[in-house]
Amino acid sequence: MTRPYLGNPKYTIEVLQKYDFVFQKRFGQNFLIDTHVLEKIIDASEITKDDFVLEIGPGIGTMTQYLAETAHEVAAVEIDKALIPILKDTLKEWDNVTVINDDILKVDIRKLALEKNEGRPIKVVANLPYYITTPIIMGLFENHVPMESITIMVQKEVAERMQVGPGTKDYGALSLAVQYYAKPKIVANVPPNCFMPRPKVGSAVIRLDRYKTPPVQVKDEKLMFRIIRASFNQRRKTLVNSLKNSPELNFTKDQIEEAISACGFSLNIRGEALTLQQFAELSNSIN
């Protein structure tokens, strides 16, 4: 790969100085400056010349250059309008990139995938701002965007939370939501010195392979996720009390106890002890 050059910190600094770019804290901007990490992300995402790739938060186009070199076509969504002239400059050698200046949470990605890739599954690659990781990932899944995989850089702690199971302190609503829609696998840990500016925490690259059909059968997906959220909102309480106190659910204590008993669970059980399969059973039972 000869053309991408922005992975080198020297060029990153040159570009930032040329445009007098000022990092915006509110957008959580940390640009990657490590070619080994960039190559790891590209390898992990398994992009080919047949793929349409959605990149979220291209920054100055560092990873976009690598993606453009590897994919058939790239759409890069960037919220910060100050970066648009920079991206025009850094990506001018590639004619297979479209830059969209918008908030990813407001973009109709499903429509974009249908228009650009004729409804075939797309691949998503991103170095995500930490403050907005969960809404972006859940938005992609819940809106049923046709997607093969998501390969993303996130806070290390969040990546770990996505792949843990019951009984661990990191297990929660995010773990269950991700594991309902996809198979998670951490592919690399990335220290703070690989970014500019340096974040205060370590990062990790995680790949989420979208399931064609979820691993559990549930009659009402939305109800199951309301139950899951309620179970972890008050972690120290029993499952019965967590569900009874939730403003999202309107079941009586008797109905909740009956459903829990029907699944063969103890009435003293806490939500953090249940697997995804057991949450599906409970949801179907309460339903």
135 closest CA partner among 168, 173, 179: 173
Q: Where are the beta strands (DSSP E) in the chain?
A: 31-32, 52-56, 73-78, 97-101, 122-127, 147-155, 182-190, 195-196, 203-210
pLDDT in tens, 141-159: 988 889 999 999 999 999 9
Between 28 and 187, the more confident residue is 187
Domain range annotation of the chain = 9-210, 221-286
Tokens 């979820």 correspond to 214
Burial class (CB in 10 A: 0-12, 13-18, 19+), 2: exposed
Whole-number Å distance between alpha carbons of 33 and 242: 45
> 221-286 is classed in which CATH architecture?
Orthogonal Bundle (1.10)
pTM of the complete model: 0.92
φ, ψ of residue 112 to 5 degrees: the values are: -60, -45
Whole-number Å distance between alpha carbons of 153 and 204: 6
- CATH code linked to domain 9-210: 3.40.50.150
As a whole number, the mean pLDDT across the chain is 94
189 closest CA partner among 205, 170, 176: 205
pLDDT in tens, 160-196: 999 999 988 999 999 999 999 999 999 999 999 999 9
Mean pLDDT of 22-46: 92
